[in-house]
Structure 1
Amino acid sequence: MPVQPASNFKRSSGSVRRWAFALLWGASLALALSLAPAHAEDADKSLLKAPVSPVPPLFTEEAIGTAKAALDGIVERAMTRTGLPGAAVGIVYKDKVIYAKGFGLRELGKSGKIDPGTVFLLASVSKPIASTIVAKLAGDGTVKWNDTAKSYNSAFALNDPYVTENATIADLMSHRSGLRTGSGDLLEDLGFDRTYILSHLDQQPLDPFRSTYHYSNFGYTAGGIAAAVAAGETWENLADEALFKPAGMTTASYRHADYLAHDDRAHIHARLPDGTWAAKYDRNADAEAPAGGASASLNDMLRFTRLQLGGGTLDGKEIVKAEALAAPHEPQMIPGPPRSPAARAGFYGFGWNVSYDDEGRVRIGHSGAFNLGAATNVTFMPGEDLGIVVLTNGRPIGVAEAIGAAFLDVAQNGRETVDWVGFLGAVFEQMDAGEAPEVDYTDVPASPKPAQDLAAYAGRYGNSYYGPLDVAADGGKLSMSMGPQGAPTTFALTHFDGDTFSFETIGENANGLAGAIFTLGEDGRAMKVVLDYYDRTGLGTFVRE
């Protein structure tokens, strides 16, 4: 599940009013200069001097020390309260790592403890890493942010000829291409590879180009892949050569196999209905590597954070040109209006959320979330030369964001003023509730209409987006198979009512039972079937071949 980073929910969200005021103030200043008298002695001495906006005081070293001292307790209380299996947390301040610690276990039921060298799946924190890699190419002159994806990757196509020809790397990496959230994600859950998914995005409907924001993993991936093609590299090799090796990020990779090769790795954990946790799944995000496929240790992510705060320079070595790295940190798109007149909107850069706290300090960050069992967050404040990294090996319930928010709260106020775990936990619960299926297939009718003879449903059904669907009747049971050729997934079909059957959804986006709704032809055989779970954008109808 692509999760919006906590900056969209916290008090420290970005402010449209501040942004608008900044534009107004800039225009007013330019007008004032153009009308200023040629000589100072000509000025009316009764006029007030130009107003100066108050500059918020920097966090003192004492304040940072107080927040650092509170961090052990913040993390431990959050883990005790939620049962979260493990976490790794680090702080960068004035280009130094002042805190780096592991908590809990790499895998429940086993003895391995998490330390700063433990490798985690990063989920969507992969996005700011990817934009840093593209910034490296931009600084070297290999690409420009406003180059079109099509100019480098001839295979790139979306569901509109104009958008196909004009969508830029910037459009794709700021989520303004018009692709809707989740486009391509269900193909990934079925096991399709990157090439297949990107080559089928042109069937997904588009919302208005450059005027709508939709958080799209595979739109973002398409932007990263276009840059990699321009560099003449695979994305994975480009990441190694452009960033990971020069920055000394020795555990970082966009290859899932590299993550699995580490003995010291954090296994992902799902949260069970009774509130306990279990390491039930693996999550291979190679298909969406630029958007969600990275893995790294806390130590490496602290180096990455130092690089961001250092304007592209790390340990005295320029990795990315400062001017090129600035673009991802700047507002590129407004995700949406404030939720209330008293609230603030946030901004999206290239792979970063850009927001402002109550004192106008800029905060840049991003969260990552795998429903199958990982949640991460990176937040930094350039004006304070301060950053915090939180990596966890449990599904997203707001803890990663809450730890970062609590640390900054203590730095600001000397104590926690908000129950961040409770507040953000409730936000994530609301997001989960919003993902519930529209039809409750667990509520079987008391007197369901009977099904046809199961042979009436059996056969092969075609679909240009998902590929063929094979429905089989065997031993009085019905099943269906779909997915990549040679490695399909088989789903058991359970009768629900009449010609409707239910099946259990799978993968990162699974949300329980879904429906397979058959329509019979005049010959008494099913002529088509709609899978409502896969029909979110109208692509879930399979027609008998």
Structure 2
Amino acid sequence: MSTVRWLAAAGLTALLGATAPGPSPPPAQPPPQLDDAEVRRAVDRLDGVVEAAMKRTGVPGVAVAVVHDGKVVKLQGYGVRKAGEKAAVDADTVFQLASVSKPIASTVVAGAVGVDGWAKPVAPNVPDFHLKDPWVTSHVTAADLFSHRSGLPDHAGDLLEDLGYDRAYILSHLRYEPLAPFRASYAYTNFGLTAAAQAVADEKGVPWEKLAADTLYGPAGMDHTSSLFADYANAPDRAYGHVKAADGTWKAQYVRDPDAQSPAGGVSSSARDMATWLKLQLGDGTLDGRRIIDAEALQRTHWPEAISNPPHAPAARTGFYGLGWNVSYDDAGRLKLSHTGAFALGAHTNVTMLPGEDLGIVVLTNTAPAGVADAVALDFFDIAEHGQPTRDWIPLVDALYEQQADEGRSKTDYAHPPSGAAPAQAAGTYTGTYRNAYYGPAEITAATDGTLTLHLGPKPQSYPLTHYAGDTFSFETAGENAVGRTGVTFTPDGTSFTVEYLDGEGLGTFSR
């Protein structure tokens, strides 16, 4: 699994809390509350924190919002929307939120179905949605899927999205994925959560994107927020996604269309609108005296539902996942709700709230993860409570990203074939049309010089193959979940081949 996928899944602030020594369970006595002066101290130092992080990492654009005691106490844009251009980030600049879309989606579901709707089976409302076990299919609920305890494997369906399949195809093919024990295991799944959101929308008879607008964005006045990629792409004041080039600079090279997983990762919004949403969250569903979301239904999203990070030492704390939220406790025993969002193709966001303090922050950035979104939030709460950061967060965050990136790569160095490797067979041994029940059709074609190309997906994506040894070739992966070079190994008679990075769950073999 790629770095971005894993850390967005774990929720970085929750992960750091779960692995650090600390009290578990929370203290019996209520923790001392932060006073206004402590919060003001953290707010007053935010400009310096953000600007230092941007200078250190080169991140071109950031937007921040802070809400305290029902008021927006900080709303600021920094830097530029696109590297090399002059248009500045402001409070209304639209960013892609990536997985910060999940707590927004749970807000929408809470408003649409109330408390009882979380416990209803999903399958009747999405007829093409099936899991491998029929009993699990008939019993899995929106709460199960929003808390990632359905038994689906980690990030099930994401590689289908990378290949260009739409939401309907992906949801209808989750039935091929192997299942872990139902409600007894945790694995983060964008398309499991999307299936639950789709079920709610189908029950209401409207597309998910309209349900979100009618239930939350419209009533709350979140005019720069949308669950449609086209709205982000056409926004005149939008932040472009950036990736780091080989020379270390940030380039606006890719555009990530997350419509297939819109409830889980497809929201775009501005710092101003996210401040409004924070006010609603901290206000138990009210906004400036108006009831937008039922209080009990919203509170239900904040409960721990699944253990996402078991303690790894006797003194370590457990991390939990609620309904679209990471749920943890800080060093003082305060309830902390958070989520990280990240696209490897150019987005990194963080939302963190201390509901007992009526305090929350959202940090939006326009690059692939460089630690800034998480570190700014961590520094903010450190400064409020301790007067200064408790550690240098950026290198710690980056080390976690790098560690996970290495784990997602192949153990084989395909760029350096072994000495004396067996030659490939004639190109005709491998060429032809193949099929896979999960990944769909594939074709191997050969150029006049014998060079092979693999074609995958509904609108075939082409991957030139490089010979490695014998009947094994490799290609450079692409898309959100790219993992560098991966292997393609044919059987000697050419009747089938297996793509290494598509075979994590044993589904990556294509047959003639």
TM bin (shorter chain): over 0.9
Q: Supply the distance in 2 between the matched residues of 1:239 and 1:103 (Cα, whole angstroms).
A: 29
> Paired residue for 1:501?
473
> Paired residue for 2:457?
483
Q: Supply the distance in 1 between the matched residues of 2:375 and 2:11 (Cα, whole angstroms).
A: 11
The alignment status of 1:307 with 2:280, answered yes or no, reads yes
Query: What's the CA shift string for 1:126-145, capped at 9, x where partnerless?
Result: 00000001100223x8x611
Q: Supply the distance in 1 between the matched residues of 2:14 and 2:328 (Cα, whole angstroms).
A: 8
Q: What is the aligned-residue identity percentage?
A: 49
The alignment status of 1:322 with 2:280, answered yes or no, reads no
Gaps of 5+ in 2: none
> Paired residue for 1:251?
224
- TM alignment of 1:154-165, pairs within 5 A: 154-165=127-138
Pick aligned residue for 2:51 from 52, 70, 76: 76
The alignment status of 1:216 with 2:216, answered yes or no, reads no
Query: What's the CA shift string for 1:105-126, capped at 9, x where partnerless?
Result: 1111111111110000000000
Output the amino acid matched with 1:483: G
Q: Supply the distance in 1 between the matched residues of 2:411 and 2:132 (Cα, whole angstroms).
A: 27
Alpha-carbon distance, 1:85 to partner: 1.7
Query: What's the CA shift string for 1:453-480, capped at 9, x where partnerless?
Result: 1121110011111111111111212111
Query: What's the CA shift string for 1:191-249, capped at 9, x where partnerless?
Result: 10000000000001111100000011111111111111111111011001011000100
Query: What's the CA shift string for 1:323-357, capped at 9, x where partnerless?
Result: 01001111111113112222211111100011111
Counterpart of 2:440 in 1: which secondary structure? coil
> Paired residue for 1:135?
110
Q: Supply the distance in 1 between the matched residues of 2:36 and 2:23 (Cα, whole angstroms).
A: 31
Q: Supply the distance in 1 between the matched residues of 2:390 and 2:20 (Cα, whole angstroms).
A: 20
> Paired residue for 1:382?
355
Q: Which has the higher contact order (CA 8 A, sep 6+)?
A: 2
Output the amino acid matched with 1:8: A
The answer to whether the 8 A contact 1:480-1:491 is kept is: yes
Counterpart of 2:307 in 1: which secondary structure? coil
The answer to whether the 8 A contact 1:106-1:267 is kept is: yes
Output the amino acid matched with 1:90: A
> Paired residue for 2:403?
430
> Paired residue for 2:509?
541
Q: Supply the distance in 2 between the matched residues of 1:361 and 1:284 (Cα, whole angstroms).
A: 37
Counterpart of 1:245 in 2: which secondary structure? helix
The alignment status of 1:6 with 2:33, answered yes or no, reads no
Pick aligned residue for 2:496 from 528, 532, 543: 528
Alpha-carbon distance, 1:272 to partner: 2.7
State which structure, 1 or 2, has the greater radius of gyration over its C-alpha atoms.
Answer: 1
Counterpart of 1:18 in 2: which secondary structure? coil
Output the amino acid matched with 1:464: A
**CA, structure 1 residues 14+149, in 2 after alignment: closer, same or farther (shift >3 Å)?**
farther
Counterpart of 1:329 in 2: which secondary structure? coil
Tell me whether 340-349 or 5-14 shows the greater mean CA deviation. 5-14
**CA, structure 1 residues 211+273, in 2 after alignment: closer, same or farther (shift >3 Å)?**
farther
Pick aligned residue for 2:392 from 419, 423, 428: 419
Alpha-carbon distance, 1:432 to partner: 1.6
> Paired residue for 1:282?
255
Pick aligned residue for 1:96 from 71, 81, 84: 71
The alignment status of 1:345 with 2:280, answered yes or no, reads no
Q: Supply the distance in 1 between the matched residues of 2:95 and 2:302 (Cα, whole angstroms).
A: 24
The alignment status of 1:393 with 2:399, answered yes or no, reads no
Query: What's the CA shift string for 1:41-95, capped at 9, x where partnerless?
Result: xxxxxxxxxxxx4332211111111111111111111111111121101110111
Output the amino acid matched with 1:365: S
Alpha-carbon distance, 1:153 to partner: 2.0
Q: Supply the distance in 2 between the matched residues of 1:56 and 1:85 (Cα, whole angstroms).
A: 38
> Paired residue for 1:106?
81
Counterpart of 1:9 in 2: which secondary structure? helix
Pick aligned residue for 2:344 from 371, 386, 394: 371
Counterpart of 1:176 in 2: which secondary structure? coil
The answer to whether the 8 A contact 1:499-1:518 is kept is: yes
Output the amino acid matched with 1:497: A
Q: How many residues align?
A: 505
Gaps of 5+ in 1: 23-52
Alpha-carbon distance, 1:12 to partner: 7.1
Counterpart of 1:372 in 2: which secondary structure? coil
> Paired residue for 1:510?
482
Alpha-carbon distance, 1:365 to partner: 1.0
Alpha-carbon distance, 1:9 to partner: 2.9
Query: What RMSD over aligned residues (CA atoms) do the two structures have, in Å?
Result: 1.6
> Paired residue for 2:265?
292
Alpha-carbon distance, 1:258 to partner: 0.5
Output the amino acid matched with 1:161: P
> Paired residue for 1:492?
464
Q: Supply the distance in 2 between the matched residues of 1:467 and 1:152 (Cα, whole angstroms).
A: 25
Q: Supply the distance in 1 between the matched residues of 2:14 and 2:236 (Cα, whole angstroms).
A: 35
Q: Supply the distance in 2 between the matched residues of 1:154 and 1:464 (Cα, whole angstroms).
A: 19
Query: What's the CA shift string for 1:3-62, capped at 9, x where partnerless?
Result: 22123332477999634x79xxxxxxxxxxxxxxxxxxxxxxxxxxxxxx4332211111
Alpha-carbon distance, 1:154 to partner: 2.2
Pick aligned residue for 1:199 from 159, 167, 172: 172
Alpha-carbon distance, 1:275 to partner: 2.8
Instruction: Give the TM-score taking structure 2 as reference length.
Output: 0.96
Counterpart of 1:536 in 2: which secondary structure? coil
The answer to whether the 8 A contact 2:474-2:487 is kept is: yes
